[in-house]
Amino acid sequence: MRDVLRAGADIADGRTTRGVEARRRLDELGLLSPAGVELALGSYLETSASERELDELVACVETAPRAHVLLSANVCTAALRALALATAAAPEVHVRPSRRDPIVADMLIDALANTATLGSYERVDVLVPRSGDAVHLYGSDETLRTVTEALPAGVSVWAHGTGYGLAVVGSNARLDVCAEGLARDVIVFDQAGCLSPRVVLAEGDAARAESLARCLDDAMTKLGETIPRGELSDETAAAITRYEHTLQTIGATWVGTHHVVGLDVAPRAFVLPPPARVVHVAAVDAASVGRLLADHARYVTVVGASGDGPVARAVAVLAPHARRAALGQMQRPPLDGPVDRRPTASA
């Protein structure tokens, strides 16, 4: 396990050979801006963990002779935790990185293959598990379904699918402080991760929700000046236009160069904006939360909350498996298991 963390630390350090190479290659890939790459590698690559956390990580994993890992591209640093979990599961680890962004995964595997004191690591193009093996899958629900259906019998599957973060700002919270924390949680990885907050439930009336939206717009504008958003694909840009347009009809929007904040003060439904630094703020009370989250709570991986008011408590009941974090810390879960603690789909 410590081998994995050491390999990660080597990449996180912008002065090492691997650190320089990772930054160069991720900059060339262009999914994040150079500042976004530096933020991800320099501040969000999980390179430290207490013994207690690592013990918990080991305890949550089912062991097997071999572990096969399928990675997704959403978060460039996710490969480290996935490799840590696979290492805890098996002495022999086979990894199929995402085709869209294999960089950190490739570099970690390369480092571990050369330096690991225990276990073996191999990069593969196709996973070929056998009965008795463990398969760890990361990706969209659709990808996981397709892959799981094709697996042989006797394979244990740990699948982590579609998910996102939800933030709750209580009625007594300081809006500017909450907004600053939220902005930090949103901009890292350009909101692409399964912990990235995409919806904020503002406890209270319309005026308070609007104040929060304005504070969030300010905070994200400020952060965007030094950490700009990466390039948008045509599909994402079109989805942002569709979201903006819709929110301009039903509520309000604040559109920055590198973000959008949407506000719905009388939400009829839960609106999930596209993941590209687009945040949806909804004015709610404890009574409306159940209706709004009924079909969506199962996708919530983390709840970032300020305060423990009625809305936060209602959300906790609806999303019991979601991690809990303070605003500003939603993307920094301890290395004590998978980031996603929802019951996983398994074969």
* Residues contributing to the site for another protein (CB under 8 A): 234-235, 237-239, 241-242, 245-246, 248-253, 264, 266-272, 295-296
Residue closer to another protein by CB (options 188, 271) is 271
Helices 103-115 and 78-89 cross at an angle (nearest 10°) of: 40
- List CB contacts of 256: < 8 A, sequence separation 6 or more: 217, 220, 221, 224
Residue closer to another protein by CB (options 301, 306) is 301
Nearest-approach distance from CB 47 to another protein, in angstroms: 35
Positions of E strands within 24-155: 66-70, 92-96, 120-123, 134-138
Residue closer to another protein by CB (options 8, 274) is 274
Residue closer to another protein by CB (options 73, 83) is 73
Strands 92-96 and 323-325: unpaired
- Dihedral of the alpha carbons of 200, 201, 205, 206, in degrees to the nearest 10: 40
Structure tokens at 123: 């990069």
Task: Kindly tell me the sign of the dihedral angle through the C-alpha atoms of 337, 339, 342, 346.
Answer: negative
Nearest-approach distance from CB 179 to another protein, in angstroms: 22
Nearest-approach distance from CB 272 to another protein, in angstroms: 5
Residue closer to another protein by CB (options 171, 236) is 236
Nearest-approach distance from CB 238 to another protein, in angstroms: 3
DSSP helix/strand/coil, 253: strand
DSSP helix/strand/coil, 283: strand
Nearest-approach distance from CB 312 to another protein, in angstroms: 23
Residue closer to another protein by CB (options 228, 251) is 251
DSSP 64-87: -SEEEEE--SS-TTHHHHHHHHHH
Please tell me the total number of residues recorded for the chain in this structure.
347
Q: What is the spatial distance between Cα 106 and Cα 132, in angstroms, rounded to a whole number?
A: 26
Nearest-approach distance from CB 264 to another protein, in angstroms: 7
Residue closer to another protein by CB (options 124, 272) is 272
Nearest-approach distance from CB 252 to another protein, in angstroms: 7
Nearest-approach distance from CB 93 to another protein, in angstroms: 34
DSSP helix/strand/coil, 136: strand
Structure tokens at 72: 């997704």
Residue closer to another protein by CB (options 125, 149) is 149
- Are the C-beta atoms of residues 72 and 143 closer than 8 Å to each other? yes
